Amino acid sequence: MNNFPQSIYNWYRNTLRNPKYRWWVILGSLLYIASPIDISPDFIPIIGQIDDVVILTLLVSEVSQLLIDTAKSRKGETVASSTENVTDQTVDVDAVSVK
């Protein structure tokens, strides 16, 4: 029973590695934040905002991870395309030992 939270977390992270599910989480988070129906009502001072903060944190983390993955893939494409045009060039470097 001690590993139950860790197993839920691992399942959640592995599920979100699939881009289709990541989009569903982002869409569901946006709908939940815009919806007037909450797990805990907002008129309760602290408890009412906890679920909104958790969902907002989930939304921000997923959108930022999506942007990071997109930037990495674009950077990889530009590096791959720029290395295709490079001919075989060698650079000679003189090595000097430092004592």
What is the C-alpha separation between 38 and 60, in angstroms, rounded? Answer: 19
What is the C-alpha separation between 15 and 25, in angstroms, rounded? Answer: 10
pLDDT the model gives residue 60? 92
Residue type, 72: K
CB burial of residue 32 (10 Å; 0-12, 13-18, 19+): middle
Reported pTM: 0.62
Cα 55 from chain centroid (whole Å) = 14
Q: How confident is the prediction along the chain (99 residues), in pLDDT tens digits per residue? A: 568 878 877 887 787 777 778 888 889 889 988 888 888 887 888 888 888 888 899 889 888 988 998 898 888 776 555 555 555 677 778 878 887
Q: What 3-state class would DSSP assign to 5? A: helix
pLDDT the model gives residue 9? 79
pLDDT the model gives residue 7? 84
